Structure 1
Amino acid sequence: MKFCTKCVMPNTKPDLHFDENGVCDACRSQESKNQEIDWKAREKEFLELVQQYKTHPDYDCVIGVSGGKDSTYQVLKVLELGLNPLCVVFEPTIPTKIGRQNLDNLNNLGVDLIHIKRNPKVYKTLAKEAFKRTGDNEWQNHLGIFTTVPKMAVNFNIPLIIWGESPQIEYGGPATSKTRNTLDRQWLEEFGGLLGNRISDMIGVDGLTERDLSLYTYASDEDIHRVGVTGLFLGYYFKWDLREVLKKSKENGFSVQDRPVETTYENFENLDCYSNHLHDYLKYVKYGFGRATDNACLDVRLGYISREEAVRLVNKYDGIPPKKAIKKYLEYTGFTQEEFDKIVDSYTNKRIFRRDEKGNFVRDIDGSLVRKDEYIVK
């Protein structure tokens, strides 16, 4: 296991590559953002491009939102540019009070908002099955976000969708993905985190039919072409900085917690849903890094902290089980603690974490998995 020599991201992150100097391509991408990209030219390109899509009598674009810092910033930026968006939120798995407040705040910025309340029986069936099949408790929610927004664009005949940051530009990925400014069906299937499980694979689970799963099925190519739907990454055209995003969102009513959220040292991440914290923990057990690593790496790349500080933060916060989130998730799904632990252990990386003579994973007194020495962040 290798760690980037500039940030603290390990090479276990899928699709992340390191150069001959041990630097990850996410750090190299940040260097490109700082030194090579002409952001004024990108902004001009965006403004010229969106003019082609201002054909709808009511709305200029569709934006998928959660009420988080990023989607709040997206809405603010779009309004600032003189566009009138139709916002769409796909209901979180286990909504939080502060998440609802932030969604109301986004709505009150002056936009129309469609709140999709998914069929709870179908959704819970997908949630439980996806957790067992992929080790991802949020598989069905991420899929729902990326399918319902294009469906709304088709249904309202709005050709332009504006997404947030480009994940490959911000967090690393194949070089060709950094030059793509669009999110479409191909992007979803390649980079959308489906983990090899398609919605068609869920037909028949507890009697689920193709019709039951319509909401989670991407709009047909025929409909996409008829309306001319194009999904653009805002972060491809405007330089994305999470601290600036947070600052602007807070200045416009976005609320944060008075303490860090579970799984990291920040108080502004994934505030809309308890289940997201479990998702971050599951990433840790699979790949040896979690939300604290994600945050620390971004802070290093953006120049807010040193790599030494990042190492300290990661070793302090990454890997502690999010007990409140797990409790909420067990209440929601009906899984017993024993069933839950068995599924989590089946996805836990045996190369990274210690096991005893019986093959059981070794844990600290707080329930954290114990790493092998060679996998400790340094």
Structure 2
Amino acid sequence: MNHCKVCSLKENHPGVVLDDQQVCNLCNLDFAEELLTNYRYTADVFAEFQQAEPAEGEYDCLFMYSGGKDSTYMLDKFVNEYGKRVLAFTFDVPFESEHAAQNIELAREKIDATFVLDSDDDNIKRMMREVFNRPAPPKPGKYLDEKLPCVSCRTFFVLRAILMAYRQKIPYIALCADPQQILTMESNVREVVRGFYKTFGESLADSLFGGQLEDLLFDEEQNLPKIVFPFIAMRHEYDPDRIIEELRAKGLYQSSPMETHCTLFPLLNYYSFKHWDCMFYKLNASTHVRSVKRNGDNDRSTFSIKFPRSMDLTDVERRLGEVTLELAEGGGDRDEHERTLVDLFQRMGASEDAAQFVAQSFLGMHEVADDLGIQLPRKQ
């Protein structure tokens, strides 16, 4: 199997093409024009938001608050630096870890915003069953196909937030994607809706949202909320370590980035390895490798999880794939799997406690799958 000689992405990674010099299209910046267009639009919308007069209604923006470090950091900034009237919207994802919930409680105590909790367990679980239980996707695939379950889950609650802002006439929705995530996320409300219809079909999409999505497609542009990505303003200075340090100093954050992950993280890795022979974080890790190689001694922390400079990405991915697929099949020795997983996540930069936390989630993969109705292979 050929790999990109710069970032180590495999030639069969969805959306990746190697040239004659064994360099992938991401390293060659083949997407540069499209990405720049999206960045310009996103930057313009954020500038408009910053300069906007207070909205006529009760809130200036609906802020999508997950309890992670990025959204906690920016919620504090919106309220205490920008002076915005914020409706902090949290979707109660049934797969969320306990650590994210603890961070949300800290924010409720310390940040003067209105907090609202939304939920729809039945429909989001129904959608995730559809994603995981689909037949094998066609090859070679498109960019981000290996993250379809994660992208689908995120899009589901983004649409819930859009509908709430639309009904309450809140003009802006703040979404705290980090600078790398911004590159891969749609910033136009209508396109978010169209993409969901394309992925799940009209019948399922209408059933999941009670037919309300059509209103977003056919109403006047001025009646639709605009999506704001506040980290666009920090794209050159984004530093997850500094963000966590500042939050902890304010008593607003008590976990590590890996500990905040949802309980589906093992299943997300299973999906990526099963269909695309790659770890779930391969794009993030390869971006880090690319940045380090191109910038010498200067790491570029443009994404939420920062990987150690010394990490052997190829070996970590191979070993993680082996243990993930064996756990999915119910095979192997659990104690040995636990030791391997702890070692691998520590090599990715997790603390010992965080590595233990994530390892336990992998060992509980079947319980989560059974709860959702996701079919996993069983050894005969």
Question: Which band: TM-score by shorter chain?
Answer: 0.5 to 0.7
Q: For residue 88 of structure 1, give the secondary structure of its aligned residue in structure 2.
A: strand
Question: Which moves more between the two structures, 310-319 or 150-159?
Answer: 310-319
Question: Residues of 1 paired with 2:97 and 2:229: CA distance?
Answer: 27
Q: Which amino acid aligns with 1:71?
A: S
C-alpha contact 1:66 1:89 (8 A) present in aligned 2: yes
Give the structure 2 partner of residue 220 of structure 1. 216
Correspondence 1:310 to 2:309: no
Give the structure 1 partner of residue 278 of structure 2. 289
Gaps of 5+ in 2: 137-147, 293-298, 300-307, 325-360
Q: Which amino acid aligns with 1:283?
A: S
Give the structure 1 partner of residue 327 of structure 2. none
Q: For residue 200 of structure 2, give the secondary structure of its aligned residue in structure 1.
A: coil
CA shift in 2, pair 1:52/1:293, >3 Å:
same
CA shift in 2, pair 1:21/1:91, >3 Å:
farther
Question: Residues of 1 paired with 2:65 and 2:127: CA distance?
Answer: 22
Correspondence 1:141 to 2:160: no
Correspondence 1:278 to 2:257: no
Quote the sequence identity (%). 17
Correspondence 1:112 to 2:148: no
Correspondence 1:184 to 2:183: no
Q: Which amino acid aligns with 2:277?
A: G
Alignment of 1:36-75 (within 5 A): 46-52=46-52, 54-75=54-75
C-alpha contact 1:89 1:113 (8 A) present in aligned 2: yes
C-alpha contact 1:92 1:272 (8 A) present in aligned 2: no
Q: For residue 131 of structure 2, give the secondary structure of its aligned residue in structure 1.
A: helix
Question: Residues of 1 paired with 2:112 and 2:218: CA distance?
Answer: 33
C-alpha contact 1:147 1:215 (8 A) present in aligned 2: no
CA shift in 2, pair 1:277/1:110, >3 Å:
farther
C-alpha contact 2:61 2:84 (8 A) present in aligned 1: yes
Give the structure 2 partner of residue 255 of structure 1. 254
CA shift in 2, pair 1:27/1:220, >3 Å:
same
Q: Deviations over 1:148-168 (max 9, x none)?
A: 11111112211111222377x
Q: Which amino acid aligns with 2:367?
A: K
Aligned length: 308
Gaps of 5+ in 1: 204-209, 257-266, 346-359, 361-378
Give the structure 2 partner of residue 320 of structure 1. 323
Give the structure 2 partner of residue 369 of structure 1. none
CA shift in 2, pair 1:334/1:49, >3 Å:
closer
Q: Which amino acid aligns with 1:288?
A: D
Q: For residue 89 of structure 2, give the secondary structure of its aligned residue in structure 1.
A: strand
Question: Which moves more between the two structures, 276-285 or 295-304?
Answer: 295-304
Question: Residues of 1 paired with 2:202 and 2:151: CA distance?
Answer: 10
Give the structure 1 partner of residue 96 of structure 2. 95
Question: Residues of 1 paired with 2:11 and 2:221: CA distance?
Answer: 39
Pick one of 340, 355, 358 that aligns with 2:376.
Answer: 340
Q: For residue 133 of structure 1, give the secondary structure of its aligned residue in structure 2.
A: coil
C-alpha contact 1:68 1:270 (8 A) present in aligned 2: no
CA shift in 2, pair 1:172/1:97, >3 Å:
closer
Q: For residue 114 of structure 1, give the secondary structure of its aligned residue in structure 2.
A: strand
Question: Residues of 1 paired with 2:59 and 2:21: CA distance?
Answer: 48
Give the structure 1 partner of residue 200 of structure 2. 197
| Shift of residue 145, structure 1, vs aligned partner | 1.4
Question: Residues of 2 paired with 1:319 and 1:100: CA distance?
Answer: 31
C-alpha contact 2:60 2:170 (8 A) present in aligned 1: yes
Give the structure 2 partner of residue 4 of structure 1. 4
Question: Residues of 1 paired with 2:278 and 2:317: CA distance?
Answer: 8
C-alpha contact 2:68 2:100 (8 A) present in aligned 1: yes
CA shift in 2, pair 1:68/1:188, >3 Å:
farther
C-alpha contact 2:46 2:229 (8 A) present in aligned 1: no
C-alpha contact 2:193 2:217 (8 A) present in aligned 1: no
| Shift of residue 216, structure 1, vs aligned partner | 8.1
Question: Residues of 2 paired with 1:49 and 1:139: CA distance?
Answer: 25
Give the structure 2 partner of residue 238 of structure 1. 234
CA shift in 2, pair 1:309/1:114, >3 Å:
same
Question: Residues of 2 paired with 1:223 and 1:133: CA distance?
Answer: 33
Q: Deviations over 1:89-116 (max 9, x none)?
A: 2221333321210222333333222111
Question: Residues of 1 paired with 2:226 and 2:60: CA distance?
Answer: 12
| Shift of residue 274, structure 1, vs aligned partner | 0.7
Give the structure 2 partner of residue 329 of structure 1. 368
C-alpha contact 1:123 1:140 (8 A) present in aligned 2: no
| Shift of residue 54, structure 1, vs aligned partner | 3.4
C-alpha contact 2:60 2:85 (8 A) present in aligned 1: yes
CA shift in 2, pair 1:70/1:156, >3 Å:
same
CA RMSD of aligned residues (A): 4.1
Q: Give the structure-2-normalised TM-score.
A: 0.64
| Shift of residue 311, structure 1, vs aligned partner | 3.6
Question: Residues of 1 paired with 2:92 and 2:167: CA distance?
Answer: 19
CA shift in 2, pair 1:312/1:149, >3 Å:
same
Question: Residues of 2 paired with 1:45 and 1:154: CA distance?
Answer: 17
C-alpha contact 1:7 1:310 (8 A) present in aligned 2: no
CA shift in 2, pair 1:273/1:20, >3 Å:
same
Q: Give the structure-1-normalised TM-score.
A: 0.65
Give the structure 1 partner of residue 175 of structure 2. 163
- Between structures 1 and 2, the one with greater helix share: 2
Q: For residue 158 of structure 1, give the secondary structure of its aligned residue in structure 2.
A: coil
